[in-house]
Amino acid sequence: MFTQQSFMNCVPLLISPNYNQWMLLIQGYICTLDSWWVFTTKDSNEMTDTKTGEVTNQDKVNDWQSDNTKSFGVFTMTIAPYFWHSFWKATTASKVWKALKEKYSTSSTNFKYLNFKALMDTTIPEDQHLQAAFSKLHCHLHLLQDFNTEVPATL
């Protein structure tokens, strides 16, 4: 069984070409921390009374701040240091998440090429089980399909 720590070891360091892989794993990890809700709540100000501006639920605000800090910490451990220049002013994990998504989730030509090249370079072993190779092929085909890249049936 995976523990939170052992799962964290499976999350790669974010470098722009691996955003899609990183994003899925980091979202799963943050969910294991029960902290994903801070990404759907803009910030702790949403938990205040809109007319009076008073905090209506201090416990909820404290929980939000704690989970935001956890999520922000996860980002600092899994994003390459040279990417932080774009996000160092972000005050919430959800702002970092949104900025990363805007910057890296769109598929560049380079991303498509790298996935297509990896697809074409995959060898099917003669003396080992085929599952790993087929899983790799399927993964690359799926990523290309997600970005509306047509791969011909025959090359």
86 in the same domain as 61: yes
Per the structure, how many domains does the chain have?
2
Under DSSP, the state recorded for 83 is G
Candidates 39, 32, 40, 38; CA nearest to 60 is 38
Res 150: pLDDT = 74
The span from the CA of 135 to the CA of 143, in Å, is: 12
18 in the same domain as 64: yes
Segments forming the whole domain that contains residue 120: 109-146
61 in the same domain as 18: yes
pLDDT in tens, 24-68: 889 888 988 899 888 887 666 566 665 666 767 788 888 889 999
Section 134-151 average pLDDT:
75
53 in the same domain as 11: yes
pLDDT in tens, 60-80: 888 889 999 999 889 888 888
pLDDT-derived band at 118, boundaries 50, 70, 90: confident
The pTM assigned to this predicted structure is 0.61
Res 1: pLDDT = 47
Residue 27 near residue 36 (C-beta atoms within 8 A) = yes
